[in-house]
Amino acid sequence: ALSFQHRYEPATTPEAVPLLLLHGTGGDEDDLLPLGRALSPGAALLSPRGQVLEGGAPRFFRRLAEGVFDEADVVRRAGDLAGFVSAARAEYGIAAPLAVGFSNGANIAAALMLLHPGVLAGAVLLRAMVPLSDPPEARLTGEPVLILSGRMDPIVPGDNAARLAGMLKQAGATVTHEVLPAGHGLSQADLVRAKTWLTGRP
């Protein structure tokens, strides 16, 4: 059996890149299925549930406080998720997925890119922040990454998101970072921007 509780929806458009959907704190494997369907109709969707519980709320890694991460746990959980992705690819016969992550899910997606290059074909990071203060030198090969930040986000400081964009660029990703007139929650603009970007992906 695969190591994460998850949902999988097979593709009806086989040429579409599969999406790995990563929910925010307190979410689960059902949360982002509608977002995935809206962003890329017909794409295969792989949606795991985070294995850390914070007062009952599922997450993808432990934190010491809001915005203060247990980095050893980030490393461990990114490894677990990388293992799940490769097992799921074998099980379902799918290509390397592009992650669509929100908040905590965006942060673990960023950690996956930095720690396990090759697992993800790219990423849409919604309200992401720097997951590791001093990541190893990753060797990405131009994987496309879209970071959408909220100008009024009370959880993610603007300079933190900009630092993440710089880190991913430094690691070799092709990064587009946009700041939307939004808070930490998603807005209609996120959907429109992400869908447009996915459609014309570099």
Interface with ligand MLT (CB under 6 A): 24-25, 63, 66-67, 103-104, 107, 155
Three-class SS of residue 109? helix
Residue 31 designated active-site: no
The one catalytic residue in 103, 149, 177, 190 is 103
Residue 133 designated active-site: no
What kind and span of H or E run contains 198?
helix 188-199
Give the nearest distance from C-beta 128 to ligand MLT in angstroms. 9
Provide CB contacts within 8 A for 181, sequence distance 6+: 150, 151, 152, 187, 189
Residue 53 pairs in a beta bridge with 58
Provide CB contacts within 8 A for 14, sequence distance 6+: none
Find the Cα–Cα–Cα–Cα dihedral 150, 154, 159, 160, rounded to 10°.
-100
Q: Which one, 47 or 103, has the nearer CB to ligand MLT?
A: 103
Residue 178 pairs in a beta bridge with 148
Residue 103 designated active-site: yes
Give the nearest distance from C-beta 184 to ligand MLT in angstroms. 8
Q: Which one, 10 or 185, has the nearer CB to ligand MLT?
A: 185
Q: Which one, 142 or 158, has the nearer CB to ligand MLT?
A: 158
Report, as residue numbers or ranges, the catalytic residues. Answer: 103, 153, 184
